[in-house]
């Protein structure tokens, strides 16, 4: 081997050793980076949430940015009116802060059970109850309708418990608030009061809430089902430590605007930012290659033109199953009927309310209600009560009992009359006087009359069955000594000399 060849061989060995050292360094650095990287634990994620939640910014910034300036406007308008509307407005501000925090936590937590959800919502439920208590303790006072606007509309914040259709729930709660808003507008029509502005400002909050739910939670609150990052204990700890920490700065004007149904502004609502879409990974790029080749193969077959059917296999008619051959065409092509499941009807809350001169008693379930009538022109409307006992003291104008089941009604005196409609298995007792009782579309009613009312009452029945009347005997010393009679249900119609006549069949 000459000197030139030896020098070339030594140079090659030197370059090979340098390349080996370089590759070893790359391998070591990559292993170190893989070892140091790790998935954050639930405690680390919870710590990050607490750090993010300590100030005004929220993880769900769209919710807070949308509602906070409107809540600020409502609070400012309430301060122009005074107490107790101010206390309600401050609680609304607090509830928005709590719910924004809750949505942030839900985005990192898997969907909890019903009992655990109740624990997570404890602070919000307490705030909403305080708003309702302010309304209940100020009934009949000058700002009663204003307080009702907030007390009825605040229930829309319960959308977080509604699955599949929270928008319908929010709309229903807004309609309840709109009813009392119209009353506020009527009361303030001839004055320069700030009450209409405050009520409209609150309804603008509900409109903004509906807008956010429509954009971000159309089918219900979004939980982190696939990869939860925090535990239930962490979530409870976060909510307990961060509740009531955010206040609204009334001196700061937000640049975010929202057009509600009660606003005349032409500025469009700013939607929340679109979700982050990560770039495709190397693995997904490799997986998409067979799909692209399959698509290319499909188009290649289509481009064959006339010869595309040459690769199809012919099917012998004798190989077809007999069921397919003999099946009628109409039956073969009959569409499949999808069976729709009945939606679960939500139970409505009970209501006992004096609205003007009208008492509203609704949705009472297995309970007793006592009503004291103060004016003779008042009317009573009882609706959708089940296994309830309703006692009314005093003389009033009219009474209607609608769609009640297995319920009892006791009253003193009625000026005009009593209507029993669409009821089943009800009992009605008149302690003193009622000139007329009308029973319509009712199956099962027992009517108790007093001795002073027997000779002056008329009972009308239509499309009803099993109607019995209990009344005192003619010479009875006590109203407890009664006679029970049924109201006939069958009629006999006959023809006599070309004329028609109908009579009651009483013998059974």
User: What's this model's pTM, rounded to 2 decimal places?
Assistant: 0.42
List of domains in the chain: 44-242 (1.25.40.330), 351-504 (2.160.20.70)
Listed as ranges, residues in the chain with pLDDT below 70 are 1-10, 12, 22-23, 25-61, 241-346, 479, 506-508
3-class secondary structure for 201-222?
A: HHHHHHHHHHHHHHHHCCCCCC
Cis peptide before 84 (omega within 30 of 0): yes
Helix boundaries (H) for 137-194 = 144-153, 166-187
pLDDT computed for residue 298 by the predictor: 59
Identify the pLDDT of residue 299. Answer: 59
- Is residue 78 within 8 Å of residue 198, measured between CB atoms? yes
- State residue 319 phi and psi, 5-degree precision: -85, -5
User: What is the sign of the dihedral through the CA atoms of 246, 252, 255 and 261?
Assistant: positive
What distance in Å separates the CA atoms of residue 229 and residue 148, rounded to the nearest whole number?
40
> Pairing state of beta strands 499-504 and 458-462?
unpaired
What are the residues whose beta carbons fall under 8 Å from the beta carbon of 382, sequence distance 6 or more? 361, 362, 390, 399, 400, 401, 402, 404, 409
Dump pLDDT digits (tens) for 96-111.
Answer: 999 988 888 888 888 8
Distance CA 270, CA 64 (A): 13
**How many Cα neighbours within 13 Å face the side chain of 337?**
4
> Would you give the distance in Å from CA 275 to the centre of its chain?
26
Contact call for residues 98 and 68 (beta carbons, < 8 A):
no
Strand-pair category, 443-448 with 465-472: parallel
Given this model, what pLDDT does residue 400 score? 95
Q: Which of 89, 68, 73, 192 is nearest to 146 (CA)?
A: 89
Q: What is the DSSP string of 326-363?
A: HS-HHHHTPPPPPPPPPPPPPPPPPEEEEETTEEEEE-
| CB of 428 closer than 8 Å to CB of 459 | no
pLDDT (tens digit per residue) in 431-475 = 999 999 999 999 999 999 988 888 889 999 999 999 999 998 877
pLDDT of residue 406: 94
- Between CA 245 and CA 100 the distance in angstroms is 12
d(CA 201, CA 71): 8
Per the CB < 8 A criterion, the answer to whether 370 and 391 are in contact is yes
Sequence-ordered alpha helix ranges (H) in 217-368: 232-242, 282-302, 322-326, 329-332
Angstrom distances, CA of residue 323 to CA of 54, 314, 329, 330: 71, 20, 12, 14
Output phi, psi for 45, to 5 deg: -65, -40
pLDDT > 70 fraction of the chain, expressed in percent and rounded: 68
pLDDT of residue 417: 92
pLDDT of 225 reads 76
Element housing 489 (H / E):
none
- Counted residue by residue, the chain has a size of 508
Considering the chain, what is the average pLDDT of its residues? 77
In angstroms, the CA 378 to CA 358 distance is: 6
Name the residue among 391, 390, 354, 360 with its Cα closest to residue 374. 354
CA angle 466, 469, 474 (to 5 degrees): 155
* Contact residues for 202 (Cβ-Cβ < 8 A; gap 6+): 74, 92, 149, 150, 153, 177
Residue 112 exposure: Cα atoms within 13 Å on the Cβ side: 23
Whole-angstrom Cα distance, residue 449 to residue 451?
7
- What distance in Å separates the CA atoms of residue 363 and residue 33, rounded to the nearest whole number? 65
Pick from 210, 198, 144: nearest CA to 174 = 210
H helix or E strand, kind and range, residue 16: helix 3-36
């Amino acid at each position: 081997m000459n000197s030139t060849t030896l020098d070339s061989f030594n140079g090659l060995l030197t370059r090979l050793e340098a390349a080996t050292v370089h590759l070893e360094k790359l391998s070591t650095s990559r292993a170190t980076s893989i070892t140091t990287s790790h998935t954050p634990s639930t405690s680390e994620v919870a710590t990050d949430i607490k750090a993010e939640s300590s100030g005004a910014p929220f993880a769900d910034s769209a919710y807070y940015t949308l509602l906070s300036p409107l809540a600020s406007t409502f609070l400012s308008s309430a301060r122009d009116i005074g107490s107790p509307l101010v206390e309600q407005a401050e609680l609304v501000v607090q509830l928005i802060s709590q719910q924004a925090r809750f949505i942030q936590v839900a985005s990192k937590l898997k969907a909890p059970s019903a009992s655990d959800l109740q624990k997570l919502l404890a602070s919000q439920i307490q705030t909403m109850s305080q708003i309702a208590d302010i309304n209940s303790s100020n009934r009949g006072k000058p700002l009663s309708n204003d307080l009702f606007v907030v007390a009825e509309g605040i229930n829309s914040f319960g959308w977080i418990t509604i699955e599949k259709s929270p928008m319908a729930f929010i709309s229903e709660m807004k309609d309840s608030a709109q009813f009392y808003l119209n009353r506020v507008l009527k009361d303030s029509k001839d004055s320069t009061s700030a009450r209409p502005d405050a009520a409209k400002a609150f309804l603008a909050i509900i409109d903004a809430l509906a807008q956010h739910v429509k954009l971000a939670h159309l089918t219900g609150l979004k939980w982190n089902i696939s990869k939860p990052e925090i535990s239930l204990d962490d979530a409870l700890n976060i909510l307990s430590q961060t509740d009531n920490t955010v206040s609204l700065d009334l001196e700061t004007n937000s640049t975010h605007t929202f057009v509600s149904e009660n606003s005349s502004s032409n500025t469009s609502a700013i939607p929340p930012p679109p979700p982050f879409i990560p770039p495709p990974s190397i693995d997904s790029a490799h997986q998409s290659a067979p799909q692209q080749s399959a698509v290319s193969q499909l188009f290649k077959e289509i481009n064959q033109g006339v010869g595309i059917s040459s690769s199809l296999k012919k099917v012998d008619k004798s190989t077809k199953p007999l069921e397919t051959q003999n099946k009628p065409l109409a039956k073969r092509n009959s569409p499949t009927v999808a069976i729709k499941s009945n939606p679960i009807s939500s139970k409505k809350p009970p209501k006992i309310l004096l609205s003007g001169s009208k008492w509203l008693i609704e949705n009472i379930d297995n309970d007793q209600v006592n009503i004291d009538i103060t004016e003779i022109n008042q009317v009573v409307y009882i609706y959708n009560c089940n296994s309830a006992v309703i006692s009314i003291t005093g003389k009033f104008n009219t009474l209607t009992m609608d769609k009640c089941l297995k319920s009892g009604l006791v009253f003193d005196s009625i000026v005009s009359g009593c209507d029993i409609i669409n009821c089943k298995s009800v009992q009605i007792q008149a302690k003193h006087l009622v000139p007329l009782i009308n029973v319509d579309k009712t199956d099962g009613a027992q009517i108790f009359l007093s001795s002073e009312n027997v000779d002056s009452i008329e009972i009308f029945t239509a499309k009803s069955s099993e109607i019995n009347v209990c009344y005192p005997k003619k010479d009875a010393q006590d109203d407890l000594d009664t006679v029970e009679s049924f109201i006939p249900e069958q009629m006999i119609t006959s023809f006599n000399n070309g004329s028609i006549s109908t009579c009651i069949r009483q013998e059974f």
